[in-house]
Structure 1
Amino acid sequence: MPSSPTPPAKTSGIESIYDAKYLATTVGMFVLVFLVAFESMAVTTVMPLVSELLDGQRYFALAFAAPMASAMLGMVAAGEISDRRGPKIPLYASVSVFVIGLLICGTANTMQVLILGRILQGIGGGAITVAIYVLIARAYPAILHTKIFALFATAWVIPALVGPWIAGLIATYIHWRAVFLGVLVFIALAFIAIVPTLHRMSTERDPSLGPVSTKRLLLAALTGALVIVMNLLGNAGTGWSLAGLLAALLLALVAIRPLLPRGTFTVRRGLPATIMTRTLVAGAFFGAEIYLPYMLREDYFLAPDRAGLVLTASALMWSLGSWLQGRVGDRLSNAACISIGGVAGVIAISTALCAALFHPPVVLLVAGWAVGGFGMGMIFPRQNVNMFALSSKAEQGFNSSAMTLADSLGNASVTALGGVIFAMAAIGFGFVAVFAFSLLLILVLLIIAPRTKANAAVSV
């Protein structure tokens, strides 16, 4: 891929993502991201009921692993096409595929058909994320990138807070099918708001780039398949499952390497180090977070609603951290925000580890994990902003795809490894082992965070 960044963009005095020129696009993208996030949270809530009614309990895990894997194909495809033709075609295609997936899920009479719809949802959702990233890079000046990504954090936080509750109400008082079919009209309206901006964008092929790489698409599909294998092995908890999981992870790393910037695995300064920090933070934070409600129930004997408060506090603080990094703008560098996020992550996971070892009052864990949420709000938007700042126009799609792939692989692989580690740990030390593993990952992130600043970083 080309490596020379583009010159700084002129902002023409634009200071707000809500200015008339951007308002419809901002609102449309926010709603679109919100609906993709809501659907993800909602499906988690209703899937136990759906699998029971469709007599497909044996496919329960696959209903989650399949879209996670297929999303990787959508990410790479959207990145490839966006670099060559801009984000217009990928957004039209990805929204269409996502909608078709919703229709199939909402009308499915068997679990196998529903999983087919979930696969299409994964492809569409993964592609939507990457195409929107490229749309941001090309439709907004660089000075507004911190603010638009802060807004997107809210688009994920709100569904995390109310999505499961709303989905439960829909399934109870309307029908579980409405969880899939009920968002179609809103997706259409959100996309219509973006259409005028897309129509102003050219779809002419970039002559400096060749055709879409079939090799990259196949590698993305292979990586996704290996993610499914890792998730299945992660639930086994035996020495053989650990060996198989590590083998699958090694193959996934080999397969994904051409889909990431050169030097990612060696943590080369600048963009490669930025991509690697996303893998580490996604794996460390989410790999630990999924065990918090479990620990609060097992060790603190809390009811599920009270155990969920730790996640609520984290989500709220995530929104605050994301808002703050948008407010400070260039006064705080991208590398500094990533480092601050790393420190907050160390505090959060250390608190969880102390809770697993010594069982202090639960308020300490809630406070510590809230600090972690604040750090995630600081780090996630700035990783995206830094990625754009170090990307030329011809590689915005590839690098956006790489960022989302790194996120998915980090989350999936650490979750799978955590499952084996938890199962194989000595009795009473499962939580300790999982949190210690996550702490090691976040400490590595803290060490490499300064390398996310390139020697000569400029804006897109």
Structure 2
Amino acid sequence: MKPLTKQIVQSYRTKETNRPLVLVAIIIGMFMAAIEGTIVSTAMPGIVGDLGGFSKFSWVFSAYLLMSAITVLLFGKLSDLFGRKPIYTIGIVVFLIGSLLCGFAESMEALIIYRLIQGVGAGAVQPIALTIVGDMYSMEERAKIQGYLASVWGISAIAGPALGGLFVQYIEWSWVFWMNIPLGILSLIGILLLLHETIDKEKKSIDYGGAGLLLVSVSALMIVLIEGGVRWEWTSLPIVGLIILSTAGISLFFHVEKKAKEPLMPLSIWSSPVIAISNSVTFTTGMILIGVSSFLPTFVQGVMERSPIVAGFTLTTMSIGWPIASTAAGNLVIKIGFRTTSVLGGISLILGSTIYLFMTPALGPIFAGVGSFFIGVGMGLTSTTFIVAIQGSVSWQQRGIATATNMFMRTLGSAVGAALLGGVLNSRLQHYLTEKATAKDISINTANQLLNESKRKSLDPTQLDLLQNGLTISLKWVYGGVFILALFSFLLLLFIPKLSKKETPVRS
């Protein structure tokens, strides 16, 4: 019996799947999933200004990222069992349901629940889209197609902040989520009508136990990072209990993965130093990315008192630096090697995070945008180089698993980063207000009013000054954390071993 991949490729050709139109449908679906990160980042200050719940700010990102991180590996295995088409369809439908509900959310708690639903759908859209492309096109054709798919992320990263600012300022924030509806429907129609596949229905083992343990352990850890020092003291029973639960869950997860027939996270590939270090840095850079995209618009709008569009500009510069550096990385890897290229990326991350450390309201959004640009360059140089290094260090049979693991680590890093850095922000702001505020009606959730222009203008000048100073100082702690993560990433990059010429991939 032929391997499943060969059967699918054969079925695409014999049933005359319209590959160009299917590719267009896939690009639309990937654009929908890709733009969700940056467009929501820019819109969040407006959402918080309307719904309140500043202390739950980071949960809007964490909920989405957590569910997409956990489900991405599961959906990959389900697509092997039931085919790409039905799993991609389920992912799009779930994502659209979540998007529709997000737009109707009337409280921060409801929005977080709906973002969980959206995250489940996102866990299927991106990996299955890439898998379909791998099935449809030969090795030689895939290089050009990957260029098209990479441009989707660059375009969405640039368009997202601008669209988010426009929706918040001129329409309403609900359209940040509702704009997904027509895009998702177009992608769904293209896949349902034009994609044909024949599936080998041989039963395969799916590691549901590993997925469940990972969900429980990571969720417990995120609650600790977000609520520790804010809702509960660090030494309180709930925090200690959650730490024990998370530690036990992770330990059991590794035990289950060693015995699973088809593990959710194959541990054997981590024996390669290239993969271990690349994935570790991918995890930390995922934390850096979410730290910048989540909290920079809050500073620009709440403290600098600029519009959502201006806040979007400060993220757009990162989105410009990223694709430029990604393109350059392909040539640099050949000329100077992947280790040197990734180290240059690490230096750029340190430069960007250093700029944030010295950022003040008086320096303005251009200064913030310069820092974002360097972060984008660092992300582009490292992320592209890691994929080349990882795929060159494993056999063809392990290439898909190794690539998926790297994707998982970035998403997991972003989820943990949103929780950790959000917890730092909440903890420091609450500490500052407790220490400095004299009025009893000033609390951490009063900071909601900074993110709404009309409410901000209605604040007493003393209260406004207190809140803005508190937010500035708290965000300094957040960007201090970003700097430490950038420095740690750079140090790890120094230990990546060189690939020999045999190991360096000449063709995909």
Residue deviations 1:7-44, cap 9 Å, x none? xxxxxxxxxxxxx9864344333321221233444445
The aligned residue for residue 186 of structure 1 is 183
2:226 — aligned with what? 232
**Aligned partner of 2:279 among 275, 280, 283:** 275
Shift of residue 377, structure 1, vs aligned partner:
2.1
Deviations 1:250-298 (A, max 9, x none): 5575466544342677x73233333223112212343356454566689
Distance 1:435 1:70 in 2: 24
Q: Is the 8 A contact 2:103 2:175 kept in 1?
A: yes
Paired position in structure 1 for 2:213: 219
Partner of 1:310: 314
Stretch moving more, 395-404 or 324-333 = 324-333
The residue number in structure 2 matching 1:81 is 78
Residue 490 of structure 2: aligned partner: 443
Instruction: Identify the match of residue 203 of structure 1 among 163, 182, 199.
Output: 199
Match of 1:12 in 2: none
Structure 2 distance, partners of 1:183, 1:153, is 16
Q: Which runs of 5+ in 2 are unaligned?
A: 6-16, 258-263, 433-472
Q: Is contact 1:81–1:397 with CA below 8 Å preserved after alignment? A: no
Structure having the higher Rg: 2
One-letter amino acid of the counterpart of residue 70, structure 2? L
Moved more, 338-347 or 79-88: 79-88
Point out where structure 1 has 5 or more consecutive residues left out of the alignment. Answer: 1-5, 7-19
Contact 2:223 2:419 survives alignment (8 Å)? no
2:419 paired residue number: 416
Counterpart amino acid of residue 99 in structure 1 = L
1:231-264: CA deviation from partner (whole Å, max 9, x where unpaired): 5326729644897586676557546654434267
Tell whether the 8 Å contact from 1:38 to 1:160 is kept in structure 2 after alignment. yes
Which one is further off, 105-114 or 370-379?
105-114
- TM-score, normalised to structure 1, is 0.74
- Given that residues 356 and 368 in structure 2 are in contact (C-alpha distance below 8 angstroms), is that contact kept between their aligned partners in structure 1? yes
Question: Where does residue 16 of structure 1 map in the other structure?
Answer: none
Query: Which residue does the alignment assign to 1:13?
Result: none
Query: Structure 1 residue 121: deviation in Å?
Result: 1.0
Cα distance, 1:49 vs structure 2 = 6.7
Per the alignment, do residues 277 and 249 of structure 1 end up closer, same or farther by CA in structure 2, a change over 3 Å counting?
A: farther
Give 1:262's aligned amino acid.
L
Match of 1:3 in 2: none
Aligned to 2:355: 351
Matched positions, count = 432
Quote the residue 1:15 is aligned against: none
For 1:378, the equivalent position in structure 2 comes to: 381
| Percent of aligned pairs sharing the same letter | 19
Deviation at 1:115, TM superposition (A): 4.7
CA distance in 1, matches of 2:211, 2:340: 35
CA distance in 2, matches of 1:276, 1:103: 35
Determine which structure has greater relative contact order: mean sequence separation of CA pairs < 8 Å that are 6+ residues apart, divided by chain length. Answer: 1
* C-alpha distance 283-192 of structure 1, shift in aligned 2 (>3 A): same
Partner of 1:167: 167
Rounded to whole Å, the distance in 1 between the matches of 2:146 and 2:117 is 31
Equivalent of residue 118 in structure 2, options 96, 107, 121 = 121
- The aligned amino acid for 1:444 is L
Q: Is the 8 A contact 2:333 2:341 kept in 1?
A: no
Match of 1:324 in 2: 328
- What does residue range 99-114 of structure 1 map to in structure 2 within 5 Å? 99-106=96-103
Q: Which deviations, in whole Å up to 9, do the C-alpha atoms of 1:64-114 show, x marking residues without a partner?
A: 433222223321211222344553332122112212323444566777665
1:157–1:315: 8 Å Cα contact kept in structure 2? yes
Shift of the alpha carbon at 1:450?
A: 4.0
- CA distance in 1: counterparts of 2:289 and 2:335, whole angstroms: 26
Residue pair 1:341, 1:379 contacting (<8 A) in 2 also? yes
CA-to-aligned-CA distance 1:204-239 (integer Å, 9 cap, x gap): 2578xx322221331343245235414532672964
What's 1:34 paired with? 31
Partner letter of residue 442 of structure 1? Answer: S
Task: Give 1:130 deviation, angstroms.
Answer: 1.8
Provide the rounded CA distance (Å) in 2 between the counterparts of 1:21 and 1:328: 36
Residues 1:268 and 1:322: Cα distance change in structure 2 (over 3 Å)? same
Q: 1:249 to 1:85 in 2, by over 3 A?
A: same
Distance 2:335 2:371 in 1: 27
Q: Deviations over 1:155-201 (max 9, x none)?
A: 431343323124325744xxx555444432221212444557742x4
Does structure 1 retain, via aligned residues, the 8 Å contact 2:27–2:152? yes
The Cα of 1:120 is off from its aligned counterpart by: 1.9
- 1:82, 1:131 within 8 Å by CA — same for their partners in 2? yes
Secondary structure of the structure 2 residue equivalent to 1:211: coil
**Aligned: 1:456 with 2:503:** yes
CA pair 67-287 structure 1, distance change in 2 beyond 3 A: closer
The answer to whether structure 1 residue 260 and structure 2 residue 257 are counterparts is: no
Using a 3 Å threshold, how does the CA distance of structure 1 residues 131 and 451 change in structure 2: closer, same or farther?
farther
Deviation at 1:150, TM superposition (A): 2.7
Q: Return closer, same or farther for 1:154/1:225 CA change in 2, 3 Å cut-off.
A: same
Residue 286 and residue 248 in structure 1: after superposition, are their counterparts in 2 closer, same or farther (change >3 A)?
Answer: farther
Q: 1:314 to 1:51 in 2, by over 3 A?
A: closer
CA distance in 2, matches of 1:308, 1:45: 6
The residue correspondences of 1:36-55 to structure 2 (distance < 5 A) are 36-44=33-41
